Amino acid sequence: MPSLYQHPPSDPDMAELVARMRAGLRTLPAEFERHRKALESGATLGSLRGITDEEHDLAYRAACRLCDEEQFHHALPVALQLVAHKPRDSRFAFLCASCLQRTGNASDAALFYAICLELDSTHAVAAYRLGECLEAMGFVREAMQAYARAVDVCRGQFNYAVLQDMAQARIDRQDC
């Protein structure tokens, strides 16, 4: 059986951030319960805890750096905390989905890609990645719908021509 242990990041500051975020995940249910009324009224956990946009951005950049280093298992607790504290930011949902997908959890990744698309219906990469997750789970028809959505979002946007071609190729492959 493979070991579940993951070496901490080599950067001590990054290792401390990951450890703090991982530990903080354990307290989230109690925090949500403690702030239930305010959260139901539309407040975010981040605002209730006094976390600034700058602090969110610093954590986001740190998680992106971990992803760039292919340390998705370390970026995931940071991404989960970001989503919990600022759930209406599509960047955080996408980051969380990416980490989940890259650590082999297609079903949870699909959920966060769908959340990202709910927050930003023009997020072409999220639509494409949702298709990948759905296809990996065996939901071929739904995957083709996600790829078609990616094609539609990319249409007319030169920057997304490659992504559009990739999504169309997935659809065409299935039609054969």
In DSSP notation, 129-142 reads HHHHHHHHTT-HHH
Q: How many residues are there in the chain?
A: 176
167/134 Cα distance (integer angstroms)? 13
Three-state secondary structure call for residue 61: helix
Which parts of 137-160 fold into alpha helices (H)?
140-154
When the pLDDT of each residue in the chain is averaged and rounded to a whole number, the result is 93
Residue type (1 letter), 166:
M
**Whether the predicted pLDDT of 162 surpasses 60:** yes
Place of tokens 């959920």: 111
Nearest-angstrom CA–CA distance, 45 and 50: 9
Domain boundaries, the chain: 7-87, 106-176
Q: What is the Cα–Cα distance from 118 to 121, expressed in whole angstroms?
A: 6
Class of domain 106-176: mainly alpha
pTM: 0.90
Q: Which amino acid is at 139?
A: F
159 burial type by CB count under 10 A (0-12 exposed, 13-18 middle, 19+ buried): exposed
Tokens 């109690």, located at residue: 30
pLDDT for the residue 1: 39
Angstrom distance (rounded) from CA 83 to CA 93: 6
Q: How far is CA 157 from the centre of its chain?
A: 23
Distance CA 103, CA 40 (A): 32
pLDDT tens sequence across 55-112: 999 999 999 999 999 999 999 999 999 999 999 999 999 999 999 999 999 999 999 9
Kindly state the average pLDDT of the residues 29-34: 95
**pLDDT confidence tier of residue 5, bands split at 50, 70 and 90:** low
